[in-house]
Amino acid sequence: MFDADAVAFLSGKNSLLDSTLRSLCISGIDGEASVEIIFRSRHGADYTTATLKFTEVSEFSFYHSNKFYFYNVEDLKFYISSDGEIYLSLDPYGGSDEISARDKDLIVAKHLQLEIA
């Protein structure tokens, strides 16, 4: 699945909410960043593992401290923004669905490929 279809699939019972981040890989080819994240699904989802491959990444930021458990998704923002980019924050600020400069653990990209198993 790609882009809007992938975002739509990962909503409702198939949401990344309550999933566990298992792997995060950042790579660069020809000066362009790509990010691949593997999640283990939440209970009751229609999949066990979701691999999200973000390409044409315009922004990413992740922080980790061993003071916190790695990595349960307790909240998120995940949608296609008004300018057509895919926006994912795994540590969003406040209760708003709006993009915030205070959102953390985020990826902004033009394209998303989703593989489920």
Please tell me whether residue 3 adopts helix, strand or coil conformation: helix
Measured distance CA(38)–CA(17) in Å, rounded = 14
- For 5-14, the pLDDT digits (tens) are 999 999 999 9
Cα→Cα distances 79→16, 21, 66, 72, Å: 12, 18, 29, 19
Q: Where are the alpha helices (DSSP H) in 10-97?
A: none
The tens digit of pLDDT for each residue in 76-94 reads 999 999 999 999 999 999 8
Give the number of domains in the chain.
Answer: 1
Give the contacts of 28 (CB within 8 A, at least 6 positions apart): 34
Counting residues of the chain whose pLDDT is more than 90, the rounded percentage is 80
Polymer length in residues for the chain: 117
- For 57, the domain range is 3-116
